[in-house]
Amino acid sequence: MGKCKFSGSWVNDPAFKDWLRPVEGNNRQAYCSVCKKNINVNWMGANALRSHMQSTKHKNGMRARREQLILPISAVCAAAPPPPPPQISATVGLLANATAPATSDLRVAMGATPTLRAEALWCLNTAVKHHSLNSNEGISELFKEMFPDSDIAKSFTCGKDKTGYIIRFGLASFFKKQLVDGINKAGPFVLMFDESLNQASKKKQLDIHVRYWEDDRVQSRYFGSQFLGHGRAEDLLHHIK
């Protein structure tokens, strides 16, 4: 077994300080905040870190970090989601196109087809009632049996995966766009954050809320969450950005 251990002095080394973090409870490893991975320092010590720095992924990540600017809040949600499975992409695409018009009425935005409207309403019900996605497995067959004379029920398909994709990449983007538009229109805003241990994941969870002025009153809205390995000031700043 190797004899090298993580040294606290490494985090102050100019070559490492921007990305190196210790791993809690394991002094034989180091954590790269750019690549989001652990590095074994058991055998090579600091040389393992230097070797890691030469990897293409790390170089690209560092380049992107250097080029990163503080973005307007409207750009926070600009990252493209991973593509949905083929059997879901058609419906999600219709919903995305349906939510594109500048409208505050969700009933209008999701009215591309009667079936799509029914699926979106069912997904909203799933989210509002905090039902599990698994509870929707087989729901399409149940509706066909319950409503045999309904054309909507015949074309309705909303299993676990499809429900999750519609909520996350269709409905959520609509509500997030409404929030972002409202914040940008309001002008100045305040970011509020709270960092605490998530008992389920055993990771530190950083919740972010936004406070701004709208409709002649102060609005405080939940914006999103980040999961942290460490909770130092520089870690909080990185995840807030």
pLDDT tens, residue by residue, 135-181: 999 899 999 999 999 999 999 988 888 898 888 888 888 888 888 88
The pLDDT score that the predictor gives to residue 87 is 47
The pLDDT score that the predictor gives to residue 101 is 41
Asked if residues 57 and 36 have their Cβ atoms less than 8 Å apart, the reply is: no
Residue 70 to residue 53: CA distance in whole angstroms: 25
Q: Compute CA distances 72 → 4, 103, 236, whole Å.
A: 44, 22, 18
| pLDDT tens for each residue of 26-52 | 888 999 988 889 999 888 888 889 999
Of all helices (H) and strands (E), which one includes residue 189? Answer: strand 189-198
Please tell me which residue, 110 or 214, carries the higher pLDDT value: 214
Flag whether the pTM goes above 0.75: no
Residue with tokens 């989001």: 36
**What three-state secondary structure class fits 21?**
strand
Question: Residue 171's closest CA among 96, 116, 67?
Answer: 96
Of all helices (H) and strands (E), which one includes residue 208? Answer: strand 203-214
The pLDDT score that the predictor gives to residue 2 is 59
Question: Residue 212's closest CA among 229, 195, 187, 234?
Answer: 187
Strand partners, 207: 194, 225
Residue with tokens 């010590």: 45
Which amino acid is it at 42?
Answer: N
Q: How high does pLDDT run on average in the chain?
A: 80
